[in-house]
C-alpha cells in the first residue's frame, strides 16, 4: 500500500463523479481514485457537490454522522444496497462558519445528515473505510464563477489545517447527449476539445480564462449546458489560488461525452 504523502498544505481536489454506477463498476477511473485516496489522507473533508444547493445562504452541515442518499432512479438494485456513513465534524462546521462570517458571507449551520451521490459515490471509492470526517457545503445556485472562486479563497486556510477542500461535479457533463451502452466509447470531438482546453488553462493556472469559460471555451454550450456540474471547479481553484502544481488524478471519458477528469492542486 502506498505511504500517505505529506504536504505543507492539503491538496484542493476536484473529482468528476460521473454516473452513480461508478460505485459498482471497476476500471481505471476507480483504480486511480483509490490510489489517490490511499496516498492522500486528510484529517477532514469539506465538500461542495453539484447535486446540493441552498436557497439564499451557504448551508454548512454540522451533523455528527451521515447516510448515503440514493437520489437517482432506474439503476441496478445493487446500487441501492450500498451504504456510506462517514462521521461529520460539528467543530469543523463551526470553523467554516466562522471563516465565512469573517468575510461577510451569508452562511448558516444545518443538521442535514444526507449525502447526495455526488459526495458519497466518489468518497466511497477514495476512502471506502468511511472514517474521515466530512462537512458538506450547499451553495446558492445563483452564485457565479467569480463568487465561487472567492468562496474557495475564503476556505483556503483550512488546507493548512489538514482539511481537504473537495469539489464534485464534471468538466463536461451533458446528459442530453448521453449515449447508452458501455462506458468505454469513442469520444465526441466537441467534448474532447472543451476538456483539452480546460486542461491547458488549468495547467497554466489561467484562472482568468476559466472564469470566462462561456465566452472562451470551445463548444461551451454543449460541454456545460447547465452550470451545476461545472460550478464546483471554482471553489477548488479559489482554495488553491496560491498554488500552481496540478496533479492529474484521472483523465478520460465515459459514454463518449462525460469527462471524468479529476485533479488535485498543491
Whole-angstrom Cα distance, residue 7 to residue 203? 20
Give residue for cell 432512479: 73
Cell of 230: 461545472
Whole-angstrom Cα distance, residue 152 to residue 13? 11
Rounded to the nearest integer, the mean pLDDT of the chain is 94
pLDDT value for 26: 94
Segments in the chain forming alpha helices (H): 28-39, 77-80, 90-102, 117-126, 145-155, 189-203, 207-211, 213-216, 220-223, 233-239
Choose the weakest-confidence range: 116-120, 136-140, 176-180, 203-207: 176-180
For residues 153-168, average pLDDT: 98
For residues 96-117, average pLDDT: 96
Task: Give the helix/strand (H/E) hosting 264.
Answer: strand 262-265
Report the relative pairing of strands 134-139 and 58-61 from DSSP bridges. antiparallel
Q: Which domains does the chain have, with CATH numbers?
A: 12-265 (3.40.830.10)
CB 48 within 8 A of CB 232: yes
Give the pTM: 0.94
Amino acid at each position: 500500500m502506498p505511504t500517505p504523502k505529506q504536504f505543507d498544505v492539503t491538496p484542493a481536489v476536484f473529482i468528476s463523479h460521473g454516473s452513480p454506477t461508478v460505485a459498482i463498476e471497476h476500471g481505471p477511473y476507480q483504480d486511480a481514485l483509490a490510489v489517490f485516496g490511499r496516498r492522500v489522507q486528510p484529517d477532514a473533508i469539506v465538500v461542495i457537490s453539484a447535486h446540493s444547493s441552498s436557497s439564499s445562504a451557504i448551508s454548512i452541515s454540522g451533523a455528527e454522522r451521515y447516510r448515503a442518499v440514493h437520489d437517482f432512479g432506474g439503476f441496478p438494485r445493487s446500487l441501492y444496497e450500498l451504504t456510506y456513513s462517514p462521521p461529520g465534524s460539528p467543530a469543523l462546521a463551526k470553523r467554516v462558519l466562522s471563516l465565512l462570517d469573517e468575510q461577510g458571507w451569508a452562511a448558516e449551520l444545518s443538521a442535514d445528515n444526507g449525502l447526495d451521490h455526488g459526495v458519497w459515490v466518489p468518497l466511497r471509492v477514495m476512502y471506502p473505510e468511511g472514517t474521515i470526517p466530512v462537512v458538506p457545503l450547499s451553495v446558492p445556485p445563483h452564485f457565479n464563477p467569480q463568487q465561487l472562486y472567492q468562496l474557495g479563497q475564503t476556505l483556503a486556510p483550512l488546507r493548512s489545517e489538514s482539511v481537504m477542500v473537495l469539489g464534485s461535479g464534471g468538466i463536461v457533463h451533458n446528459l442530453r447527449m448521453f449515449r447508452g451502452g458501455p462506458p468505454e466509447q469513442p469520444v465526441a470531438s466537441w467534448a474532447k476539445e472543451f476538456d483539452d482546453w480546460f486542461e491547458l488553462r488549468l495547467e497554466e493556472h489561467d484562472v482568468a480564462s476559466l472564469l470566462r469559460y462561456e465566452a472562451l471555451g470551445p463548444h461551451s454550450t454543449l460541454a456545460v449546458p447547465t452550470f451545476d456540474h461545472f460550478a464546483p471547479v471554482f471553489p477548488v481553484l479559489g482554495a488553491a489560488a496560491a498554488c500552481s502544481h496540478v496533479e492529474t488524478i484521472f483523465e478520460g471519458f465515459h459514454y463518449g461525452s462525460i469527462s471524468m477528469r479529476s485533479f488535485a492542486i498543491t
